[in-house]
Amino acid sequence: MPRRNYRQNVRLTSRDIANYCQVSKSTVLEWIKSKELKAFRLPSGHYRIDKKDFKDFLVKWDMPVNTWLFNGDNANEGEKKQRAI
């Protein structure tokens, strides 16, 4: 099966989110439990967050969105095309 869309399907851990936002992992877990940050739970009990849901969270709370984390997403494709024109 081709992995062309691999980067679009990457899921982030609560630690990834904590590092990005410079907060503790427990703060991220509070965001998840209070439904502010959409996540799903693995059978092991760990959480995973889709990159799109994390980006929506950042925009909603007016936090900086670094493009290096979201490179390769379809949402940025339009921006890349606009710059090329």
Task: Report yes or no on 1 lying in a domain.
Answer: no
pLDDT, tens digit, 9 for 90 and up, residues 5-23: 656 668 999 999 999 999 9
CA distance 72 to 63: 20
Task: Report yes or no on 52 lying in a domain.
Answer: yes
Phi first, then psi: give them for residue 50, nearest 5 degrees. -70, 145
- Tokens for 17, please give them: 């989110």
Task: Report yes or no on 77 lying in a domain.
Answer: yes
Task: Report yes or no on 3 lying in a domain.
Answer: no
As a three-state string, the secondary structure of 27-70 is HHHHHHHCCCCCCEECCCCCEEEEHHHHHHHHHHCCCCCCHHHH
Task: Report yes or no on 47 lying in a domain.
Answer: yes
pLDDT, tens digit, 9 for 90 and up, residues 12-58: 999 999 999 999 999 999 999 999 999 999 999 999 999 999 999 99
pTM over 0.85: no
pLDDT at 73: 62
Total domain count, the chain: 1
CATH number of the domain residue 21 falls in: 1.10.1660.10
Task: Decide if pLDDT at 1 tops 60.
Answer: no
Range of the domain at 62: 8-84
